[in-house]
Amino acid sequence: MLNEILYIFFPKSCGSCNLPLHTFEDGICTACRHSLPEMIFISLVENQMHSIFEEYNIYLASALFNFEKNTEIQELIHNLKYRNQKKLGKIIGQWHGAKLATDMNFTQVDVVLPVPIHIKKLKNRGYNQISNYGAILAKKLNADFNETTLKKTVNTKTQAKHSRQQRFDNMLNSMQIRNPQILENKHVLLVDDVITTGATMKACIECLNQVKGITISIAAMAVTLLEDA
Ligand SMILES: [Zn+2]
């Protein structure tokens, strides 16, 4: 009853189309749940996402959505990252996790690692937008969730002036791995929100490649699959 009254005065809106949600809907409206550009790679076979990381040895790669600018997906990620709607990470995690849990290769993942954000950014935003998503994926895959081993030690916020190579070098030097031995011989799933050039994830992969016997798989909420990305 109280919920119903609150709802009349403060209707919650869909994280994707921003229209008011019905009381039975959670975070994303039914229409958006049906129309969002779902794109699922669950296969050992090389997929388009692997090709972004062709210089690395990536085992499994999966994204839930196809990312395009000026679409509901951009709005969804924007709401998650900048409008304090961290619950959306949980909802996207449940959606993606349910799909991945049906794949025997993904269920062999030992540890889920979110791409780290710098402490300064964490303080400004109040949360790492990937934490909820990663934690739910870990739960669905019966894996551990670890957001302390991989650290971002330098804030690489304003990089627009630098060349792509410089930006990547800076990014690479900004990542650190602590207690790498706990990841030895483990299958890790590195997760991020959106992958475009893949630079951030590549910096993490370079770090993780120092760990003995590690197997690296990746997952993202959304991926951009442009030829020149
Ligand atoms: Zn909607």
Per-position pLDDT tens, the chain of length 229: 666 665 566 668 999 999 999 989 999 999 999 999 887 666 556 688 888 999 999 999 999 999 988 999 999 999 999 888 889 999 999 999 999 999 999 999 999 999 998 888 888 888 898 999 999 999 999 999 999 999 988 777 666 677 777 877 777 778 899 999 999 999 999 999 999 888 889 999 999 999 999 999 999 999 998 654 4
CA–centroid distance, 36 to ligand 1, in Å, is 9
How far apart are the CA of 14 and the centre of ligand 1, in A? 5
| Domains in the chain, CATH or no CATH each | 22-223 (3.40.50.2020)
Closest Cα to residue 76, out of 58, 91, 61? Answer: 91
**What separation in Å is there between the alpha carbon of 12 and the centre of ligand 1?**
11
* CB-based neighbours (< 5 A) of ligand 1, an ion: 14, 16-17, 29, 32
How many whole angstroms from 25 Cα to the centroid of ligand 1?
10
pLDDT at 168: 75
> Could you give the CA distance from residue 67 to residue 74 in angstroms, rounded to a whole number?
7
**Concatenated DSSP letters of 11-35:** --B-TTT-PBPPTT-BSB-HHHHHH
Instruction: Measure 155 CA to ligand 1 centroid, in angstroms.
Output: 34
- If you measure from the C-alpha of residue 201 to the centroid of ligand 1, how many angstroms do you get, rounded to a whole number? 29
CB atoms within 10 A of CB 24: 6
Alpha carbon of 20 to ligand 1 centroid (Å): 8
* pTM of the predicted model as reported, rounded to 2 decimal places: 0.88
Q: How many other C-beta atoms lie within 10 A of the C-beta of residue 44?
A: 9
DSSP string over 68-112: -TTSHHHHHHHHHHHSS-THHHHHHHHHHHHHHTT-TTGGG--EE
189: β partners: 112, 217
Cα(109) to ligand 1 centroid in Å equals 32
pLDDT of residue 156: 73
Distance in angstroms (rounded) separating the CA atoms of residues 189 and 96: 13
Q: What gap in Å lies between CA 87 and CA 93, rounded to an integer?
A: 10
Chain segment 118-137, per-residue pLDDT in tens = 888 888 888 898 999 999 99
> Cα(57) to centroid of ligand 1, in Å?
37
